[in-house]
Amino acid sequence: MILEGIIIKGVGGLYKVAATGNIYDCKARGKFRKLHIIPMVGDRVRIRVLDDGTGIIDEIMPRRNALTRPPVANVDQMIAVIAVAQPEPNLLQLDKLILAAEKQQLDIVICINKIDLDDGMVQCKAISKAYEMAGYNVVYTSVAEPLCGIEDVKRFLRGRITVIAGQSGVGKSSIINAICGQNRMAVGEISAKAGLGKHTTRHVELLAVDGGMIADTPGFSAFELRLTKYEVAAFYREFSLYAAECYFSDCLHLKEPNCAVRQAVEQGLIDRGRYERYVYIQDELEQEKGFVRW
């Protein structure tokens, strides 16, 4: 029997494939190893079901995209999680994460978590304003009782494969537990010494929820993204409203004269913090010879 399905988990050369309402334990055909193709979570596949109920992955359908960190294929969107405290928000890392998602043409939602730690919501509102000005959807969440914002997150999940990503300790696994209504993922503690979360996720697994699928991802202890300086400029979507008015058609919005983007920053139309981090990333790109590192 031949079935079409999707790989929802892969550990040590063994894969779980969801197909026709069932989960099949599968191995991949040897031809993939010879072709240097490694099946990925999110791959849409054809499997041959054996008499014992296990399966063989015979074919991997063409991938729409393939992330390497985390290793997931055919992703539709990224929910980038940042905590308002514990650990302190690192907006430079968030901007780099957004660049990675923009390069893969993913839809992006910014999730500001642990809002219960922000008296008066002052910091939450400042972060939200910066990214809403840039054209991103922003949601607020808290997994402390009572839960807050989880239903808002769920509305973005339906019919999509979603990666939930962010630095360790921001509460990705806790958000997934709240969405799933059960303790599906281990929840890490915060290291008081560094203010960072202990990595609790050891593998990528797709979880079915609300008509979609979500993936938790290992903490980003290392991150590397190859970009050109012009890609970085293009991926700052708030620049697009003004870049056409720049004097130079290839303006990078750094020190060029008559730059409409820099004028927009001065006028408060583009968030100054976002722009300053853009300049920092461009400088890093120059020093690292085309790489953005985390």
Point out which residues pair with 206 in neighbouring strands: 215
* Whether 171 and 268 share a structural domain: no
pLDDT number for residue 285: 92
Point out which residues pair with 46 in neighbouring strands: 4, 59
* Whether 103 and 121 share a structural domain: yes
* Whether 203 and 240 share a structural domain: no
Half-sphere exposure of 39 (CA within 13 A, CB side): 32
- Is position 169 annotated in a ligand binding site? yes
pLDDT tens-place string over residues 141-160: 999 878 899 999 999 999 99
* Whether 229 and 209 share a structural domain: no
Owning domain of residue 198: 77-216
Quick check: is 117 in a domain?
A: yes
* Whether 95 and 204 share a structural domain: yes
* Whether 156 and 241 share a structural domain: no
Quick check: is 103 in a domain?
A: yes
Q: How far apart are CA 8 and CA 213, in angstroms?
A: 9
Quick check: is 43 in a domain?
A: yes
Which residue would you say has higher pLDDT here, 137 or 204?
137
Query: Where is the domain boundary, 10, 31, 60?
Result: 60
- Is position 115 annotated in a ligand binding site? yes
Please list the alpha-helical segments (H only) found in 185-244: 229-235, 240-243
Q: For residue 268, what are its two tokens?
A: 């408060």
- Is position 281 annotated in a ligand binding site? no
- Is position 168 annotated in a ligand binding site? yes
- Is position 16 annotated in a ligand binding site? no
pLDDT number for residue 217: 60
CATH assignment at residue 40: 2.40.50.140
* Whether 211 and 229 share a structural domain: no
- Is position 114 annotated in a ligand binding site? yes
Q: How confident is the model at residue 289 (pLDDT cuts 50, 70, 90)?
A: confident
Please list the alpha-helical segments (H only) found in 134-215: 150-154, 172-180
pTM value is 0.85
pLDDT number for residue 120: 86
Q: How far apart are CA 250 and CA 177, in angstroms?
A: 46
Point out which residues pair with 215 in neighbouring strands: 163, 206
Point out which residues pair with 140 in neighbouring strands: 112
Q: How far apart are CA 202 and CA 20, in angstroms?
A: 28
pLDDT number for residue 123: 93
Q: For residue 250, what are its two tokens?
A: 């290839």
Q: How confident is the model at residue 292 (pLDDT cuts 50, 70, 90)?
A: confident
Quick check: is 71 in a domain?
A: no
Q: For residue 175, what are its two tokens?
A: 């958000």
Residue 221 reports pLDDT greater than 70: no
pLDDT number for residue 218: 57
Q: How confident is the model at residue 204 (pLDDT cuts 50, 70, 90)?
A: confident
Quick check: is 50 in a domain?
A: yes
* Whether 30 and 160 share a structural domain: no
Contacts of 107 (CB under 8 A, 6+ apart): 76, 77, 78, 160
- Is position 203 annotated in a ligand binding site? no
* Whether 266 and 186 share a structural domain: no
pLDDT tens-place string over residues 185-202: 444 443 343 344 444 445
Residue type, 55: G
Q: How far apart are CA 100 and CA 72, in angstroms?
A: 13
> Residue 36: which of 60, 15, 56 has the closest Cα?
60
Q: For residue 187, what are its two tokens?
A: 């929840």
pLDDT number for residue 10: 93
- Longest CA pairwise span in the chain (Å): 71
Q: What are phi and psi of 8, to 5 degrees?
A: -110, -10
Per-residue CA distances from 241 to 158, 167, 223, 275 (Å): 30, 30, 30, 14
- Is position 113 annotated in a ligand binding site? yes
CATH assignment at residue 246: 1.10.40.50
Residue 282 reports pLDDT greater than 60: yes
Which residue would you say has higher pLDDT here, 220 or 48?
48
Which residue would you say has higher pLDDT here, 181 or 133?
133
pLDDT number for residue 118: 92
Which residue would you say has higher pLDDT here, 285 or 217?
285
Q: How confident is the model at residue 181 (pLDDT cuts 50, 70, 90)?
A: confident
pLDDT tens-place string over residues 66-105: 987 778 999 999 999 999 999 999 999 999 999 999 999 9
Q: In angstroms, how far is the first alpha carbon of the chain from the final one? A: 46
Which residue would you say has higher pLDDT here, 253 or 68?
253
> Residue 46: which of 63, 62, 58 has the closest Cα?
58
- Is position 116 annotated in a ligand binding site? yes
Q: Which residue has the tokens 């296990």?
A: 54
Quick check: is 36 in a domain?
A: yes
Domain count of the fold of the chain: 3
- Is position 251 annotated in a ligand binding site? yes
**Degrees to nearest 5, angle at CA 78 with 73 and 81:** 135
Torsion angle of the four alpha carbons 276, 260, 267, 82, in this order, in degrees rounded to the nearest 10: -40
- Is position 172 annotated in a ligand binding site? yes
Quick check: is 70 in a domain?
A: no
* Whether 134 and 262 share a structural domain: no
* Whether 20 and 100 share a structural domain: no
* Whether 206 and 157 share a structural domain: yes
In the DSSP assignment, the letter for residue 167 is S
Query: Where is the domain boundary, 199, 216, 233?
Result: 216
Residue 165 reports pLDDT greater than 90: no
Quick check: is 66 in a domain?
A: no
Q: What are phi and psi of 80, to 5 degrees?
A: -95, 115
Which residue would you say has higher pLDDT here, 246 or 119?
246
